[in-house]
Structure 1
Amino acid sequence: IFFRVFCPHLLLVPMGLGDKFIRGIEKFEKKVDAWAAEGEAEERRKKAVSFVDELGPELTGKMVCTGDSCSSGKAKTADALAGKTVALYFSAHWCPPCRAFTPQLAEWYTKDLAAKGLEIVFVSWDKDQGSFDEYLDQMPWKALPFSARDKKDALGKKLHIKGIPSLVIFDADGTLITTEGREVVTQDPTGSKFPWKGA
């Protein structure tokens, strides 16, 4: 790092000081690595979330009917996400890449990832309640209620969501694991490296 950044030209070192100089360079490189790690940790702290505060007290889900009875699919946020690795899925029905990715994610979730402790929460960028309901019906997980537009906007801003589909993964305590969840899960759909810390 030192040579690349600070010394692009030949450097002459007085005789007998070569080893000492090299040790100094190595020490400096370790400091640079430590600074980078501290910066990354600080960025993760800034993006940490409190699930109940930022998603609200209750999540919604698709209507599930068994026989003559139907369930709304609603659940308390704290209960639904307790002890889980949580992925916030920013997506919308009007988005073609989202419609292509959602069935894949649903298959991976149902087949392997849910059993390993992943819980997904759909954060909708749909334009109306009807589109939201239609899209949620294709998903086997919970969602931030469509009416909570203020929370959707706040999360998008906090996590710097620039486009969809986007999958942001958090540890059970709300600590950010990765903002590149779509790529991470696509490369490891069975969750062999779950919960993908260090991704």
Structure 2
Amino acid sequence: MSAERAVVHLSEPKAVSELSGRFPSYVYPAGTELFRSHRAGLGTRWYSSSGGGRFDLEEPGGTCYLAEDEVVTLLEIFGGQLVVPRYEVESRAASTITLGSDVTLADLTANTGIAFGVTAEIFSTADYPLTQRWAAAFRAAGFDGLRYWARHELERAGRCVALFGGAGAVGESHPHAVKVTTGLSDRGDLLQRWREETGVTILDVPDLL
């Protein structure tokens, strides 16, 4: 019997007892560098609990979104936009974060996750309440976060990482250190890669807001 094509196959999350110690995992060791693009006015290590992010946890928890590749962070921020106003670029920062401790993530890119009801829709569905329930279940199962594919990156050049923590900005005692933060508009090398790899245009237009 074939699966119905025009329906979402991503299930509700399994019980925490089924996920804990059984769902496929991936460990990033201490010292691993990950990348983040964010509003310049927000802290680099910002853990979202607003519900606007795919894997946001509810307060008092939160989720910090990073990636293995810098261009992937831009693809996730700007989605499928082919033209990006320069003022949007100028409002953002690019940061590198060094992990200060090992983190064990639920690996949503492993095919063995299929047995638990995970499908690739977890990276692309607009049903954020569903994906957020998955995030909450994985945290309850003891995972430090999630490893997943970007919705808008087609070449699978680098995975995304959603780290779990306390909501909002974190203090200097946080184990993951900010190695460097620069204005995105000052990163000509990164912007050039973004343009070359995706064909995006950065357009000089006035910010009327």
TM-score by length of 1: 0.27
Rg (Cα) greater in structure: 1
Q: Which has the higher helix share?
A: 1
Structure with greater strand share of residues:
2
With normalisation by structure 2, the TM-score equals 0.26
Of structures 1 and 2, the one scoring higher in RCO (CA 8 A, sep 6+) is 2
